[in-house]
Structure 1
């Protein structure tokens, strides 16, 4: 997806607040600009989101620098909390360099932070971008992240791409943490039921609006209302009708309205469910951006 086409128009505000439970505010599309001079500082990103009812954000780390950035940003902004981890696609390279154990130790240290560090993630398995030779390292990293989440009573945020069965197998082997979020849920209705049976929250991104995503819509229909979350994974996975443009938290209303239609409930009810669910999923409320 190109991130060079500029920001989409701001949608109509939601009738009640919601939380973007997975965002990457440190991506170059925000912090350094992209071709054409696109630039959106953190303050502006948060203000634009709050103006349409997205009043809180979970900033997610994918490696050591971004995890540290998430912790620092959450400490600086009351409406932001942090998730820290090594992305599964980071694990094979770190293992090859003999640095995986050390990096995991640093994630453990970051996860021990204060109230503004709420989650360990995004961790998990990714068989799309990493081949068979990298799976052993991914599994080892995933298992240790689960242990870190339990050790510090943090929410586990799972990245699962083309690895549904193995993700469940590892979770069953290690034991599911008290709070688990399936980031950018990518399975079907059957997999949704399997995750819910294990106590997980399912987080739907802009992909649920894509024309070819019948599996996600089927999954949403069978997910109990008290287990539904919403996210951007910004600056990626921009919802229709802006697919192909950069994503941001202020576009969440498009996804929420679409989800409400699929679930057959009012937008207001969907917003209130998402907001309440996010508090439970991430261990309690935190300050809204107003």
Structure 2
């Protein structure tokens, strides 16, 4: 059901323990336009709505220079937010064609070192769905440099992997896996999940795990150790059922968590506590909860 006053789905029942949305895009245009006749959602309101249902912290993720700078500024202004900075893999070929990739990577390096509120380098990685073979060299070069930045700055590496499972692992194995690595919006099967966990990665599940055609994700979740499971929205994308097709927001994470608990065979409270603790380890320690 969608509320008439906000244009967003009604808030689900609050979770019994706090969790973290470890990947969202609060700056995306879907937050700053009318949605189904609804109202604009400022950052404070988005965070308050999330906290009201137990999603008390978020990781704001940059995908380009503008978004990465905004993430850093937003995290500096909100104690419950930390930032991730990067060039999305689909940005890399565009910047390379314009002769600006090296300069952009240097700016990401600078942003990654700009404060404790910047916890991650991401989302970086490989995307063979939107970028063709002619853009892969730039994607690989960008991914490798992001890995090096994460290691140099002691930041968590957040990986975007779309239709590129084997290539992502090959680059990680060649460069060496950072101490803290998150597979954002995990999209593989059980075998790929095992390979990622063997390399020390955390697997982050989004609303896609609730989709009817996503049995591969549910199989992956079943084999993922409880201490390696994270949850995210990738908001405003990947809205969980039963609201698929509407814009997503951090306050809808309880739908995904409750679904995941059933698949993982644990109580909702146990999964919440595991996710909260896992996120602290995955992102280099705790930060303030939203109250």
Q: Structure 2-normalised TM-score? A: 0.97
Distance 1:212 1:134 in 2: 29
Pairing 1:55-74 to 2, within 5 Å after superposition: 55-74=56-75
User: Structure 1: which 5+ residue stretches go unaligned?
Assistant: none
Pairing 1:82-121 to 2, within 5 Å after superposition: 82-121=83-122
Give the match for residue 36 of structure 1: 37
Residue 113 of structure 1: CA displacement?
1.4
Distance 1:32 1:209 in 2: 27
CA contact (8 A) 2:76 2:117 kept: yes
Give the match for residue 243 of structure 1: 244
What is the count of residue pairs matched by the alignment? 286
Distance 2:248 2:189 in 1: 24
Q: Structure 1-normalised TM-score? A: 0.97
CA contact (8 A) 1:25 1:31 kept: no
Distance 2:248 2:33 in 1: 15
Give the match for residue 288 of structure 2: 287
Q: SS at 1:6's partner residue?
A: coil
CA contact (8 A) 1:64 1:103 kept: yes
Give the match for residue 24 of structure 1: 25
Distance 1:287 1:135 in 2: 39
Matched, 1:219 2:217: no
Give the match for residue 162 of structure 1: 163
Pairing 1:246-257 to 2, within 5 Å after superposition: 246-257=247-258
Distance 1:31 1:64 in 2: 19
Q: CA RMSD in A?
A: 1.0
Give the match for residue 176 of structure 1: 177
Give the match for residue 278 of structure 2: 277
Q: SS at 2:159's partner residue?
A: strand
CA contact (8 A) 1:31 1:42 kept: no
Distance 1:111 1:89 in 2: 20
